[in-house]
Amino acid sequence: MGMGDSDAIKPGPSKPEHLKLVDQISAAYNVLLAVVWATLIPQWPYAWALFLTHGAAALLPRLIERAGDGLTPVGRLLRDIYPLLWILAFWTELDFIRRLLHDAAYDRVIGGLDAALFGVHLDEVWMPAMPWVWFSEIMHLAYFGYYLTVILPLLYMLFKGSREMRHDMTLRVVLVYFACYVVYIAFPVDGPHFLSEHYQGPHQQGLFYRLERVLQGQGDSLGCAFPSSHVAASTTMAYLGVRWFSRPVAVLLVVAAAGVAVSTVYTQNHFAIDSVAGILFALWINVLVVPVLMRWWRSEYPLSDIQ
């Protein structure tokens, strides 16, 4: 066998066929949470259980490797989208982490930047200046639209999307949420929703106002204001709309994302700077970070065609 033949068959870095970049990102975040909970074991008796849970969850990619092609169609689908299921599970932990890990948040810092950038806190002055029920209902409907903006495209991806679309959307959505979560763990900001007195007025009789308050009461987490994950996720879905969907759908997602960005300030849930940061954070990840990660992944594992 000649030298040329030897070079031709030299193997590149090996990686099991079914392991994806998003699997590694999910594992890394589970490792981070395991470390966080390990440091909190002396403070909270149940922290050890979460430490063990995240340590075990970090091994899930190894199980995916071992499963290979021996999965049912439903199992293969879950293998592709399970990182999305982590988003809600991890969100529920952030409130506990904020209360246990930090004695105080960084609202003074972010609030100061907000006032310096806009001259006033828009979340304090906008609703009192425009308290009309009809306008408030539009704003609260726009804020409620966050759920539809995120969920409906993902449902289409799940049932109608191509394999490539499913991998790309899952990677980008998961990375944006997890990146927000890392910021919340290290640099919590509680935000106006928790710390400011909310404006009282006739708008409180509106249907969407009341609906939004019910939803927030079920799912709010302390320390998760900066950057706004609502805005970051909606911006990501707008980006994915342009990338994967028809022009009318893309336009609708862009408009919906803009509605979330402005309504989160009007409804007194966030500083305006939280919303701006959410937009910039999402664009930074989607336009710059994801391509860099993908180039690294493909250079490390050139035999893989899976993101």
Token code pair at residue 283: 């664009």
Domain end residue (candidates: 72, 101, 130): 101
Do 150 and 257 belong to one domain?
A: yes
**Per-residue model confidence (pLDDT) at position 218:** 65
- Give how many domains the chain has, as a whole number: 2
Among residues 40, 72, 101, which one ends one of the domains? 101
For residue 37, the enclosing domain spans: 18-101
124 domain residue, yes or no: yes
The reply to whether 193 and 276 lie within a common domain is yes
State which of 40, 74, 101 marks the end of a domain: 101
* Alpha carbon distance 81, 289 (integer Å): 21
Rounded CA separation 215/3 (Å): 67
How far apart are the C-alpha atoms of 8 and 179, rounded to whole Å? 40
Q: What is the mean pLDDT of residues 127-156?
A: 94
Q: Tell me: do 197 and 253 sit in the same domain.
A: yes
Determine, yes or no, domain membership for 107: yes
Verify that 166 and 298 share a domain, yes or no. yes
Burial 167-184 (b: 16+ CB within 10 A, else e): bbbbbbbbbbbbbbbebb
| 78 inside domain | yes
**pLDDT at residue 201 in the model:** 80
Verify that 109 and 203 share a domain, yes or no.
Answer: yes
Q: Do 50 and 179 have their domain in common?
A: no
263 and 284 inside one domain: yes
Look at residue 66 and tell me whether its pLDDT is greater than 80. no
* 3-class secondary structure, 105: coil
Strand partners, 189: 224
Task: Convert the pLDDT of each residue in 155-203 to its tens digit.
Answer: 999 999 998 999 999 999 999 999 999 999 999 999 998 887 888 887 7
Q: Please indicate, yes or no, whether residues 137 and 56 belong to a single structural domain of this protein.
A: no
Report how far residue 206's alpha carbon sits from residue 56's, in angstroms, rounded to the nearest whole number: 46
Statement to judge: residues 97 and 134 lie in one domain: no
Q: DSSP for 13-74, please give it.
A: ----TT--HHHHHHHHHHHHHHHHHHHHTTT-TTHHHHHHHHHHHTTHHHHHHHHTT-S-HH
Q: Is 230 inside a domain boundary?
A: yes
Q: Is residue 12 part of a domain?
A: no
Query: Which of 11-25, 190-204, 240-254 is modeled with the greatest confidence?
Result: 240-254
> 43 and 111, same structural domain?
no
Same domain, 176 and 296: yes
> Could you read off the pLDDT of 252-287 as tens digits, one per residue?
999 999 999 999 999 999 999 999 999 999 999 999
Q: Is there a domain that residue 2 lies in?
A: no
Same domain, 121 and 193: yes
Cα separation, 233 vs 203, whole angstroms: 27
Does the residue 159 lie in any domain? yes
pLDDT at 54: 97
